[in-house]
Amino acid sequence: MSTEKERTYSEDEVKAKIQELGLSGWSLEEGWLRRKYNTDGWPQTLMAVNAVGYICEAAYHHADLAVTWGKLWVKLMTHSAGGITDKDFLVAKKIEEAILWRPAADSPLGDGNPGKFVFSK
């Protein structure tokens, strides 16, 4: 096990990495990588919370969450490094993929859920 501190990204580097990874809904606020998801209601919010929880537990890198009806806020930071590291970007990317995933237009699953479900803006 390495005791070397992980590399953290500067504010400008975080902004560039957000663009590079296509994490357009994410931003750097008060030292955290943050994202707000809007949902179609409480059941969809709880499903999104569970998806984030599963991803974070699998990665052993845990997000801070704020939850209310129709909204989920996700905050990521590597506490042991004192900032944003590659771990945060990898977890953010996986969360984004899971939360916003929808069947392809030509999928046997059809159009998927006809409601708004979870949306990007």
pLDDT > 90: percent of the chain = 75
pLDDT tens sequence across 58-104:
999 999 999 999 999 999 999 999 999 999 999 999 999 999 888 88
Distance CA 97, CA 34 (A): 15
- Three-state secondary-structure class, residue 99: helix
pTM score:
0.89
* pLDDT band for position 52 (cuts 50, 70, 90): very high
* Domain definitions of the chain by residue range: 11-101
Residue range 11-101, CATH number: 3.30.1360.20
What's the confidence (pLDDT) of residue 85? 97
Name residues whose C-beta falls within 8 Å of residue 95's C-beta, 6 or more positions apart in sequence.
35, 51, 52, 55, 63, 74
- Three-state secondary-structure class, residue 36: strand
